[in-house]
Amino acid sequence: MKVQVNQESFWGRYMEVVRTSMLPYQWEALNDRIADAEPSGCIHNFRVAAGLEQGEFYGKVFQDSDLAKWLEAASYSLMYHPDPKLEAQLDEVIGLIEAAQQPDGYLDTYYIINGLDKRFTNLRDNHELYCAGHMLEAAVAHYHATGKRKLLDVMIRYVDLIYETFGPEENQLHGYPGHEEIELALMKLYDITQDPRHLALAKYFIDQRGQQPLYFAEEKNHDRPFRWEGSYGYQYHQAGLPVREQTEAEGHAVRAVYLYSGMADVARVTGDDSLLQALDTIWKNMTRRRMYITGAIGSSHWGEAFTYDYHLPNDTVYGETCAAVGLVFLARRMLMIRKRSEYADVMERALYNGVISGMTLDGKRFFYVNPLEVEPEACAKDYEHFHVKPVRQKWFGCACCPPNLARLICSLPEYMLSEDEDGTYLHLYMDSEVRTEWQGTPVSLRVETDYPWDGAVKITASPEEQKEWTLALRVPGWCRRYTIRVNGEDFRAPVECGYARITRTFSKGDTVEIVFDMPVTEVAANPLVREDAGKLAVTRGPLVYCLEEADNGAELHRVRLPEGKAADVFTVTRRPEMLGGIVALEAPARIMCDRWEELYRPAEEESFASRQLTWIPYYAWANREKGEMMVWIRR
């Protein structure tokens, strides 16, 4: 299957921003050539490890992973936009990586530079297997994009070493990664090699996690104390219990969704129902009790972690960009097991909101933390808000998020649809051309849509010969009414697991049109979410909207939503000149206008003034001047 996204469409423009702006910018950052930005040291470390220059290791212990994610993103970009110059650049970098690899296959610049005798002695903290996983994902993407095996063979040699080092035998280490990632990467490798050792290693890391005696408790050579233990225990690493006994999304949010993604891949390939049952339980807990309306996860900056049910503060949220990216990974893998729209709904929610909020529209500045409410003075003067930034940053000393964004956006065509012997399932609606096969019959699908601004989607199917097939179209969870027409005539399609199924004999040029009603909607949080009691969020289609000071002035906490049904009081306005082209929402809201000198006084009836306010899509905030922002507004 090959998907070509229209460059002028919503996601096509994002893919172009990554290709033309973000990838070159990040390459400069990896080479420490961005003025006034945190240095990376990434390329420097590989050059030192390869013996090409002298120096010390610079940066975090997981610094190698930044280059790996950039390589993966660039490889995906080549799949959809061939670029000989970029391909040659990747070949050069891969040559550098190969030069740094040790004779036995080991590849991690932190230990190559600082002492190979210490390798695999601190799995809990030092990210060797995490870095290996990211570089393995890059190798798989590069192989699929170019057919070249150099990086793939480099990483297979490293995986061979890891397979020999870890396992159940007495002469092996019985450990697993402190930061999960290699589990899902090994499953991507297995899809290529079908080598049973690659599946067995992924399964071992998952099955061994949390078993007694607890490996992390027995490790003796930690470089630093375990500062999260008092708050989360070993569930910070999702290692306090065997994975099949875990029932809640706990600990570091990114580690969690990477682990769950690996579990899903192993469950899919092996048919392990016990893993799938654990995932079902954790998925429900995470998405129904611990996920923000934007698809952000991880409510606490302490440990970048999940906390407890319904604890979803808006102004001190962590909501790491990487965590939303990882949630998309997991949702897609759940869809690969079972075609249920609830997974695609979460994937869509995160993509349009909590993922792309992590970057500016030009792809050159980034959020690590994605708040739902910002008051810039608090960010500067209140310790509890220091992790929240009112403007995106050029780069980070811990720069995991920017290349994670790049690799996800460049690979988005893989998330759009999937197929099985039962039919073609459209999960995400992107203006695109799809070339695939229906049981051996070549077919093209032209998908035309202005989604997410408009709810109309037209699909033109052109099989080379008539073919009976099923097109299954996801009915988004936010949609209450929709219509379907086939070749211009109304069509009633049965809905199964959230997908409208159109089963018929398709001929060249047949059209299927589905139109989702897309009214402005005010959304309430569960009453157990204390922070949102008495408040509503404004949405339209898959997009969450917010108020920003640039449009509405400061002191947004004074705003009260307009009375009446949202569909009646909000005006929907296309603004092509604004923030790269958006649909803005306007409404005559009320502003509390009382002021007095005393700090407190007896309560009196509040007075309000009317003001026309403008809501913009949440993902687009902080692309103008620094200022306040708010998603949840008082009734």
- pLDDT above 90: residue 70: yes
pTM for the model stands at: 0.97
Residues of 239-261 as b/e, b for ≥16 C-beta within 10 angstroms? bbbebbebebbbbbbbbbbbbbb
Cα 525 vs. chain centroid, distance in angstroms?
23
* Sheet strands side by side (includes 499-506): 417-420, 423-426, 467-474, 499-506, 495-496
DSSP letter at 581? Answer: S
pLDDT digits (tens, 9 = 90+) for 13-67: 999 999 999 999 999 999 999 998 889 999 999 999 999 999 999 999 999 999 9
Q: How many CB atoms lie within 10 A of CB 6?
A: 18
Q: How confident is the model at residue 562 (pLDDT cuts 50, 70, 90)?
A: confident
- pLDDT above 80: residue 227: no
Which residues participate in catalysis according to the annotation? Answer: 304, 400
pLDDT digits (tens, 9 = 90+) for 335-365: 999 999 999 999 999 999 999 999 999 999 9
For residues 533-543, give the mean pLDDT.
97
User: Are 125 and 227 spatial neighbours (Cβ–Cβ below 8 Å)?
Assistant: no
- pLDDT above 60: residue 224: no
What are 197's two structure tokens? Answer: 């050792």
- With tokens 């699908």, the residue in question is 445
- pLDDT above 60: residue 172: yes
Q: Whole-angstrom Cα distance, residue 485 to residue 471?
A: 13
DSSP string, 23-84: HHHHHHHHTT-STTS----HHHHHHHHTTSS-----S-TTTHHHHHHHHHHHHHHHHHS--H
- Of 336, 412, 428, 436, the closest CA to residue 1 belongs to 436
Burial class (CB in 10 A: 0-12, 13-18, 19+), 113: middle
Burial class (CB in 10 A: 0-12, 13-18, 19+), 225: exposed
pLDDT digits (tens, 9 = 90+) for 116-141: 999 999 999 999 999 999 999 999 99
Model pLDDT, residue 607: 87
Model pLDDT, residue 106: 98
Residue 164, H or E segment: helix 150-165
Phi/psi at 320 (nearest 5 deg)? -60, 140
Sign of CA dihedral 323, 325, 328, 329: negative
Q: Which domains does the chain have, with CATH numbers?
A: 2-416 (1.50.10.10), 421-516 (2.60.40.1180), 520-634 (no CATH)
What are 375's two structure tokens? Answer: 């008051």
- Of 226, 215, 152, the closest CA to residue 189 belongs to 152
Model pLDDT, residue 220: 65
Q: Considering the chain, what is the average pLDDT of its residues?
A: 95
Q: How confident is the model at residue 221 (pLDDT cuts 50, 70, 90)?
A: low
What are 582's two structure tokens? Answer: 């958006």
Model pLDDT, residue 377: 94
- pLDDT above 80: residue 225: no
User: Are 535 and 635 spatial neighbours (Cβ–Cβ below 8 Å)?
Assistant: yes
Question: Do strands 482-486 and 432-438 pair parallel, antiparallel, or not at all (unpaired)?
Answer: unpaired
* Sheet strands side by side (includes 2-5): 2-5, 432-438, 441-449, 456-463, 510-516, 482-486, 489-490
Q: Whole-angstrom Cα distance, residue 84 to residue 370?
A: 36
User: Are 202 and 172 spatial neighbours (Cβ–Cβ below 8 Å)?
Assistant: no
Model pLDDT, residue 279: 98
